[in-house]
């Protein structure tokens, strides 16, 4: 399993004005088979994004042994219970504890944000609660990388609710703990 991400530009005959964005794709292959895209999510950005300024991309650090089936159940359970937030949902503090130091935050209409130091306050400013309803998860054969996707519900500080879809990439650190490395949200309707 692996992933690719980067900037894109798009124009069509119907819409000749150049549009900018960021793509995120997760790839997987069976032994001896071709690579296949398992997840593809993109956001629009107001201008071109210089990925060099974001720093090195997140990478898994786990080198131990793992049971991918068991890890899949763990991740689905953690997301559906909002990572310990229970029925009340995930708070900004809960979120900050589960993200990688080199996390990337992708939100439609804005450039990506990189690093825990920048992402945690951005999330704290944007929401008071978040809940995730995962649809599926896949874990790499090595048990060091996983992706999930599903629906989210975010409540901001004024109690407005935003519903949409998410894609997450989870990587394990050296001790085996899962950390959120990429968080991509696509609102069902713009806020």
Per-residue pLDDT tens for 103-133? 999 999 999 999 999 999 999 999 998 888 9
pLDDT tens-digit readout, 150-189: 999 999 999 999 999 999 999 999 999 999 999 999 988 6
Lowest-confidence region among 15-19, 43-47, 180-184: 15-19
- Residue 15 is predicted with a pLDDT of 87
For 29-143, list the strands marked E by DSSP: 36-45, 99-107, 113-114, 129-139
Would you say residue 123 lies in a domain? Answer: yes
- Residue 88 is predicted with a pLDDT of 62
Lowest-confidence region among 5-9, 13-17, 102-106, 186-190: 186-190
CATH number at residue 178: 3.10.450.50
- Residue 145 is predicted with a pLDDT of 96
**What are the φ/ψ torsions at residue 34 (nearest 5 degrees)?**
-80, 155
Would you say residue 71 lies in a domain? Answer: yes
In degrees, to the nearest 5, what angle opens at C-alpha 95 toward C-alphas 86 and 75? 65
Rounding to the nearest 10 degrees, give the CA dihedral for residues 56, 31, 173, 111: 40
- Residue 30 is predicted with a pLDDT of 84
Mean pLDDT rounded to a whole number for the chain: 90
Q: Is the pLDDT score of 86 beyond 70?
A: no
Q: How many domains does the chain have?
A: 1
Q: Please tell me the distance from the alpha carbon of residue 171 to that of residue 178, in angstroms, as a whole number.
A: 6
Would you say residue 39 lies in a domain? Answer: no
Domain of 170, in residue numbers: 55-187
Would you say residue 28 lies in a domain? Answer: no
Would you say residue 7 lies in a domain? Answer: no
Would you say residue 12 lies in a domain? Answer: no
Q: Is the pLDDT score of 84 beyond 50?
A: no
Would you say residue 6 lies in a domain? Answer: no
158 CB-near residues (< 8 Å, 6+ apart): none
- Residue 189 is predicted with a pLDDT of 66
Would you say residue 5 lies in a domain? Answer: no
- Residue 34 is predicted with a pLDDT of 94
């Amino acid at each position: 399993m692996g992933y690719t991400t980067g900037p894109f530009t798009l124009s069509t005959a119907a819409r000749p004005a150049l549009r900018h964005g960021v793509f995120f794709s997760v790839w997987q292959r069976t032994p001896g088979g071709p690579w296949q895209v398992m997840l593809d999510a993109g956001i629009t950005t107001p201008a071109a994004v210089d990925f060099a300024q974001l720093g090195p991309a997140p990478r898994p650090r786990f080198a131990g042994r793992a049971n991918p089936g068991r890890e899949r159940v763990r991740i689905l359970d953690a997301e559906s219970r909002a990572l310990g937030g229970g029925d009340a949902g995930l708070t900004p503090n809960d979120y900050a504890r589960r993200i990688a130091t080199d996390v990337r935050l992708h939100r439609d209409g804005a450039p990506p944000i990189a690093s825990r130091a920048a992402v945690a306050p951005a999330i704290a400013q944007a929401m008071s609660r978040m809940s995730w309803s995962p649809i599926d998860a896949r874990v790499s054969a090595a048990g060091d990388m996983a992706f999930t996707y599903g629906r989210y519900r975010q409540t901001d500080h004024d109690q407005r609710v935003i519903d949409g879809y998410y894609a997450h990439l989870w990587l394990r650190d050296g001790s085996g703990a899962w950390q959120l490395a990429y968080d991509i949200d696509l609102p069902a309707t713009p806020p």
